[in-house]
A and B are shown apart, each in its own frame.
Chain A
Amino acid sequence: MSRNLILGGALTALFLGAAALSFLWTPYDVTALDIPARLQPPGGAHLLGTDHFGRDILSMLMVGARTSIAVALVAVGIGITIGVPLGLAAASRAGGWMDELISRSADLIFAFPSLVIAILITAVFGPGALNAILAIGIFNIPVFARLARGAALSLWTREFILAARVAGKNRTRISAEHILPNIANLLIVQCTIQFSLGILAEAGLSYVGLGAQPPIPSWGRMLADAQTLVSLAPHVALIPGLTIVFMVLGLNLLGDGLRDHFDPRLRVLRT
């Protein structure tokens, strides 16, 4: 186990744990306003201080983690469940019309500036976590489709696949039983990367008011609220920002660590 893997895993586990814990317990009620105690610095009764409504920042971050993680996770889920089968199907008939169609469509979606389209989608269909998930999820589909196709293509020439074909298995079965398990590592690494990008995208969308709506706390929203207060009480901007940085950093380190651990370069490209 590498240092990256341990550090990244620990950071990720910390945030996942905090989000899970928030369902059972938070230090304070996130909807409780306490104006006299507003903008308190970290330390004291409120470990990470309070915001301009006197709400406890630690509690808001814990509940906000739920939003961020849920949005990013479901968006990754959309990418995998739609993208991977498409990529596998394309690779199983490489060069055919389906491969051509899937690959060209993936290229096309890649050419779109994802943030602009995400803003367009959430703006048109109304802001909210659900539309943010859809907007981010759509752009995960071609990522996984391309990755699955590329990795599967190199496997299709291998002897054990040939053996399976000789044994009479059809292409769909081979894709599911032999190709998929062999590219799972690559997919897992990509998951962590898309997960971290999803966290950043969600923060950006909710910062401009297109993500989860109040009173549901979200990290991006907290930063938007903090913007006018930054000179008065820097902690209201610093703490949520650092939270995002550590979450994304943790996921990226985890991804790097897993990649080294699995060493997909040796497994997949050794054809």
Chain B
Amino acid sequence: MLAYLTRRLTSLILSLIAASAVIFLVVEVAPGDPASYMLGINAQPETVAALRDELGLDQPKIQRYLSWVGGMLTGDFGLSYTYRTPVAEMIATRLWISLPLALYALTLAILLAFPAGLIAAATRGRAPDFGVMAFSQLGVAIPNFWFAMLLVLGFAITWRIFPSGGFPGWDNPLQAIRALTLPAVALALPQAAILARVLRSSLIDTLGEDYIRTARAKGLTRRQTLWRHGVRNALIPVLTIIGLQFSFLIAGGIIIEQVFYLPGLGRLIFQSISQRDLIVVESAVMLLVFAVILVNFLTDLAYALTDPRLRKG
């Protein structure tokens, strides 16, 4: 286990180094100088030069990369070029929308997918199974931002149950959750479709095992076998998928936030891109990538803990 942990930790750190280098390089080669962009077209060259100096844009690339990474490690993400406020603060406030949204969507996806997957596996080849599989095919094919628009049309414009966009803040938690409901549903649908399908096939595989036949032979009913032996064993691959999905939900939120005008991380990234506030873009994207890589790492770890065979892999 220790060897496995060391190996996984090494690859986690290597991934993070590679990710930060890629993000830094991509943003570095971006056309346009942030300093001249901030000062406008009428700025004096000396002013631009002074600002470049102040922002540290004059330093060699490698030094800027190291100070960026070093800063992030100590929680100092630098100052936004545009707003002159700490990037860490800007990201933290946005995170309070994006993270709850992803968790909310994940919960909904699981609540939807589990019964669906169970029913499909239990009624394999019959009508309910076909229904679930058709739903799953459809769920994967629907672009979630379009589904979001349909939700707005139905539940915000026609029936006025949920707000069509915006976020009132967490002062009133009930209103906040109401504002996040439609975005969460839109995000959850394709993930629920995938999850239901994985659960179904995992259950069907498990139900073909010898120990299931043994359980049936010793007199357990179909339902008892399904619950006591089937579901428990089928859960392992499902957990991995859930871990992966969380990363998808964090990233997928970027587009959904656009649909609902939610001031989350995704909108921060888009705003900063249009304002050439590159330091915010770099740090926000790095944070997203870090979250994704970390969740994948933790999933692998949880997986290895439950299934010793995987530690060798």
Contacts and interface: CB of A to CB of B under 8 A. Distances in A.
A71 interface: no
Contact of A200 (B143, B149, B251): B143
Contacts of A253: 137
A241 B19 CA distance: 34
Interface in A185-214: 196, 200, 203-204, 207-208
B146 A230 contact: no
Interface in A97-153: 104, 107-108, 111-117, 119-121, 123-126
Interface in B236-264: 247-248, 250-252, 254-255, 258-259
A112, A200, A231, A241 — most chain B CB neighbours (10 Å): A112
B272 to A, nearest CB: 9
A245 B251 contact: no
A123 B153 contact: no
Interface in A241-257: 241, 244-246, 248-249, 252-253
Nearest to B293: A111
Contact of B289 (A116, A123, A124, A227): A116
Contacts of B248: 113
Contact of A112 (B14, B140, B143, B289): B289
Given A204-B143, A204-B145, A230 B254 contact: no
Interface residues of A, number: 41
Contact of B26 (A113, A120, A223, A241): A120
A237 interface: yes
Contact of B141 (A107, A234, A237, A249): A249
A230 B152 contact: yes
A241 B141 contact: no
A111 B15 contact: yes
B153 A244 contact: no
Contact of A227 (B259, B273, B293): B259
Contacts of A245: 138, 141-143, 146
A119 B137 contact: no
Nearest to A223: B146
Contacts of A252: 137, 140-141
The bracket for how many chain B residues form the interface is: 35 or more
B158 to A, nearest CB: 8
A120 B255 contact: no
A117 B15 CA distance: 14
A113 B141 CA distance: 19
A48 interface: no
B26 A231 contact: no
Contacts of A126: 31
Given A111-B296, A120-B26, A120-B27, A203 B153 contact: no
Contacts of A223: 143, 145-146, 149
A241 B152 contact: no
A235 to B, nearest CB: 11
Given A113-B288, A249-B141, A234 B153 contact: yes
Contact of A108 (B15, B152, B292): B15
The main secondary structure of chain A at its interface with chain B is helix
Contacts of A112: 19, 22, 289, 292
Nearest to B147: A241
B246 to A, nearest CB: 11
A226 interface: yes
A237 B153 CA distance: 10
Nearest to B278: A124
Contacts of B49: none
Contacts of B150: 237-238, 241
Contact of B251 (A115, A240, A248): A115
Given A107-B11, A207-B255, A116 B288 contact: yes
Contacts of B273: 123-124
Given A203-B143, A253-B137, A121 B26 contact: yes
A65 B142 CA distance: 16
Contacts of A246: 141
B18 A108 contact: yes
B281 interface: yes
B146 A241 contact: yes
B292 A113 contact: yes
Nearest to B251: A113
A116, A200, A227, A230 — most chain B CB neighbours (10 Å): A116
B29 interface: yes
A238 B141 CA distance: 15
Interface of A: 104, 107-108, 111-117, 119-121, 123-126, 196, 200, 203-204, 207-208, 220, 223, 226-227, 230-231, 234, 237-238, 240-241, 244-246, 248-249, 252-253
21 contacts: A111-B19, A112-B289, A113-B248, A113-B251, A114-B251, A117-B22, A120-B27, A125-B31, A204-B255, A207-B143, A207-B255, A208-B270, A227-B149, A230-B149, A237-B149, A241-B142, A241-B143, A244-B146, A245-B142, A245-B146, A252-B141
